[in-house]
Amino acid sequence: MTATPARVPLRATVIGAGGLGGPIALSLAAAGVELVIVDHDTVELSNLHRQLQFTTQDLGHPKATRLAGLVVARGGSARGVVMKWRPEEVDDHTMDADLVVDASDDPETKFAAADWAVANGRAYVIAAALRYGGNVMAGTPGYSCYRCLFEEPGEAPTCGDAGVLGPVVGAVGGLAAAIALGILQGDRRFAGTLVVIDDLRTSAPRFIRFSPRPGCPACARAPISPSSSDATPVRVAEGS
Ligand SMILES: [Zn+2]
């Protein structure tokens, strides 16, 4: 497969419009990235403590379209797609993305998104949060991939089941957005790296760089040409 030519503005697909997807989408859009936000869920009262982008006005509405509407109201570009992200149905919303960000609460989706990005030569960021911590994996073509490290979806509980401290998703989402913006600008420092926050209250992030796994079914024969330019403009705000 050939690489997608560089393009401005850059485009990203954000999978998941919840606690992680909120800060990720708002941050990327504020930096000028055009978004498609894919999520099949609706806003529930129990979501509001960690999904700060929503209010009681959003209850019962699809998260994807409500978050996209918030992005647009803030001057950004976003389209909400109400469906569960599946690699076999990406033509309409992910095929032209420069970057895929998984902010879902579903291990199967994370593996599918990473595998799809690797197979199609796209950069990707996979974010996860649980209880007091979380992790962010960044990948670009030519580097070790999500499946090199984790191999298969495990039996880990989701934050919907096991809970997550509200501020943790904001912190992990912000970290994922910062790394995603760096990758879109050509920064490869975090490619093939897992950033782990064990406990946001007590520990500093750990940066774990890992090697490609020989024979990895996802990346061993994947294209290595990056799909986006190594020098692309992302707006950086002045002041605080
Ligand atoms: Zn791999």
Q: What is the pLDDT tens value at each position of the chain, 240 positions in all?
A: 444 455 678 999 999 999 999 999 999 999 999 999 999 999 999 999 999 999 999 999 999 999 999 999 999 999 999 999 999 998 888 899 999 999 999 999 999 999 999 999 999 999 999 999 999 999 998 899 999 998 888 766 666 667 888 899 999 999 999 999 999 999 998 899 999 999 999 999 999 998 999 999 998 876 665 444 444 445 555 555
Q: Do the Cβ atoms of 226 and 121 come closer than 8 Å? A: yes
Two tokens, residue 39? 């999520």
Q: How far is the CA of 213 from the centre of ligand 1 (A)?
A: 6
Which pLDDT value is given to residue 127?
97
Q: How far apart are CA 67 and CA 81, in angstroms?
A: 10
Q: How far is the CA of 166 from the centre of ligand 1 (A)?
A: 32
The dihedral sign for the CA sequence 147, 67, 63, 47: positive
- Protein residues within 5 Å, CB atom, of ion ligand 1: 145, 147-148, 216, 218-219
Which pLDDT value is given to residue 225?
52
Q: Where are any strands of DSSP class E within the chain?
A: 11-15, 34-38, 78-81, 99-102, 123-130, 133-139, 193-197, 206-209
Which pLDDT value is given to residue 229?
41
Two tokens, residue 155? 């039996």
- Per-position DSSP letters for 127-188, written without gaps between them: EEEEBTEEEEEEE-TTS--HHHHH-S---PPPHHHH-B-HHHHHHHHHHHHHHHHHHHTT--
CA 12, distance to chain mean position in Å, is 9
Which pLDDT value is given to residue 87?
93
CA 211, distance to chain mean position in Å, is 21
Instruction: Give this prediction's pTM.
Output: 0.89
Which pLDDT value is given to residue 93?
86
Which pLDDT value is given to residue 235?
53
Q: How far is the CA of 76 from the centre of ligand 1 (A)?
A: 34
